């Protein structure tokens, strides 16, 4: 049975406002400017075969409209994984608050 081993809530600027102790977010050393790197504490996972669930909040554009966007991960390793924010339904890259859950098998 899978078990939850880490969770986190992240603001659009990459700051953590609630997460499992030891989790860090890096916005500087990632593949693209619309990405984040979630750095895991040492020995949190033993292999790179863990499950990542991501959720992004709806984003307000300031005109009382909310845009849907897609969120995904890539480059999953034992040490970290990268999270990318993909274009929203308005055609623009949208950064918003997001959450993650890591499950171990």
Which residue ranges make up each domain of the chain?
Answer: 3-104
- The conformational region for residue 89 under phi > 0 = left, psi -120 to 50 = alpha, else beta, is alpha
- Read off the pLDDT of residues 13-62 as tens digits, 9 standing for 90 and up: 899 999 999 999 998 777 777 789 999 999 999 888 999 999 988 766 66
pLDDT in tens, 47-102: 889 999 999 887 666 665 666 778 889 889 999 999 987 766 666 777 788 999 99
Tokens of 37: 């790197």
- CA torsion, points 22, 38, 98, 18, in degrees to nearest 10? 10
User: What CA–CA distance (Å, rounded) separates 105 from 22?
Assistant: 21
Q: Tokens at residue 10, please?
A: 């992240």
The answer for residues whose C-beta is within 8 angstroms of residue 16's C-beta and 6 or more apart is 8, 9, 10, 23, 24, 25
**Token output for 9:** 């809530």
Tokens representing 3 are 């078990």
* HSE-CB for 84 with a 13 A CA cutoff: 10
């Amino acid at each position: 049975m899978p078990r939850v081993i880490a969770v986190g809530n992240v603001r659009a600027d990459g700051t953590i406002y609630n997460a499992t102790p030891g989790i860090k977010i890096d916005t500087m050393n990632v593949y693209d400017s619309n990405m984040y790197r979630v750095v895991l504490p040492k020995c949190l996972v033993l292999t790179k075969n863990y499950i990542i669930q991501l959720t992004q909040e709806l984003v307000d554009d300031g005109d009382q409209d909310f845009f849907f966007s897609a969120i995904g991960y890539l480059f999953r390793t034992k040490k970290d994984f990268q999270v990318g924010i993909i274009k929203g339904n308005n055609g623009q890259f949208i950064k918003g608050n997001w959450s993650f859950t890591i499950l171990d098998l």
